[in-house]
Amino acid sequence: MKPAPFEYHRPDTVAEAVTVLAAHGDEAKPLAGGQSLVPMLALRLARFEHLVDVNFVDELVGIDRADGWLRIGAMTRQAAVERDAVVAADAPLLARATPLIGHFQIRNRGTIGGSLAHADPASEYPAVAVALGAEVEIAAAGGSRTVAAADFFLGTWTTALADGELLTAVRLPVWSGRCGFAIEEMARRLGDFALAGAAVAIRLNDADDGVAAAGIGLFGVGPTPVKARRAEAALVAGERHPAEIGRLAMADADPTDDVHATAGYRTRVGAHLVARAVERALAEARGGQR
């Protein structure tokens, strides 16, 4: 099938993009890498009168570190994130998550902002964002705002973005000190969306091996990425048994049955993936200073 007819807009700046978006309200959608939007349009699962192609807005591209944060422009391709030395050094969890997204052809076009705005609950980047405590920057004709990742994902394919708003960047806090990171997922085939997954960040105290901070983001186990707050708190409180951390993490999740897996399967596998990721992150953190 082909998409329904639409009017194509090609802004060169964020200001132009949000002006067009504001003019057309819920009839307009930004077009980023097109890896999710174009199939949805072609299958007629979605229809918009106006597509605002932000691929020529240079100010939306780039990776910068400042004041303990890594700022990544929304239109930065996933392939660029995958190859970037600053990301590898300052946000290893994001670097390790990226090769798990689809296939390299998809990552060559797909963008970090598109993945976050699309908000597929089985996506890796949203879970990494909630695990690390990221923030998203949003622009609109009336001004800009920042939203914590933990408040950004509202439901399947639903975010805090309102009509007329454009996601412009994601800001990731740089976890420094004795840190470890791990991401684990279960997918039927390489490149498929995950049936369940866990992204974990851990920072240890300098003085001993106590956990100073823990971030756990789950994916594929509910309508949104899940911040596993009970498991995070238990790690900081001294709980070390991986199976117990896995159980606590899944207590915050809300998996459902679908054609790919049952809720029970996702719960069991999710708990194991959390346990494995926590063990790996702890081992890396104990291994050295970052």
Question: Which residues contact ligand FAD by CB under 6 A?
Answer: 29-37, 54, 74, 101-102, 106, 109-111, 113-115, 117-118, 120, 123-125, 161, 166-167, 191, 193
Q: How far is the CB of 197 from ligand FAD (least distance, A)?
A: 9
Least distance (Å) between residue 174 CB and ligand FAD: 23
Instruction: Give least dist CB 259 to ligand FAD, A.
Output: 16
- Give 120 or 279: the residue with its C-beta nearer to ligand FAD: 120
Q: Which is nearer to ligand FAD, 39 or 68 (CB)?
A: 39
Q: What does the block give as tokens for 113?
A: 């902002």
Nearest approach in angstroms of CB 168 to ligand FAD is: 7
For the bound state, the minimum distance from the C-beta of residue 155 to ligand FAD, rounded and expressed in Å, comes to: 14
Cβ atoms 142, 119 nearer than 8 A: no
> How far apart are CB 208 and ligand FAD at their closest, in Å?
37
User: Which residue number, 83 or 240, has a Cβ lying nearer to ligand FAD?
Assistant: 83
Name the residue nearer to ligand FAD (CB basis): 4 or 237: 4
Would you state the structure tokens that stand for residue 128, as one six-digit string?
């990494």
Q: Which is nearer to ligand FAD, 90 or 165 (CB)?
A: 165
Least Å from the CB of residue 245 to ligand FAD: 24
Question: Cα separation of 277 and 290, whole Å?
Answer: 18
Q: Closer to ligand FAD by CB, 136 or 202: give it.
A: 136
**Nearest partner of 64 among 178, 170, 139, 166, judged by Cα:** 170
- Which residues fall within 8 angstroms of residue 264, CB to CB, at 6 or more apart? none
**Given the complex with ligand FAD, which of 58 and 206 has the nearer CB atom?**
58
Contacts 24+ apart (CB under 8 A), 282-289: 282/180, 282/202, 282/204, 282/211, 282/240, 283/180, 284/179, 284/180, 284/181, 284/182, 285/178, 285/179, 285/180, 285/202, 285/203, 285/204, 286/178, 286/180, 286/204, 286/209, 287/180, 288/178, 289/177, 289/178
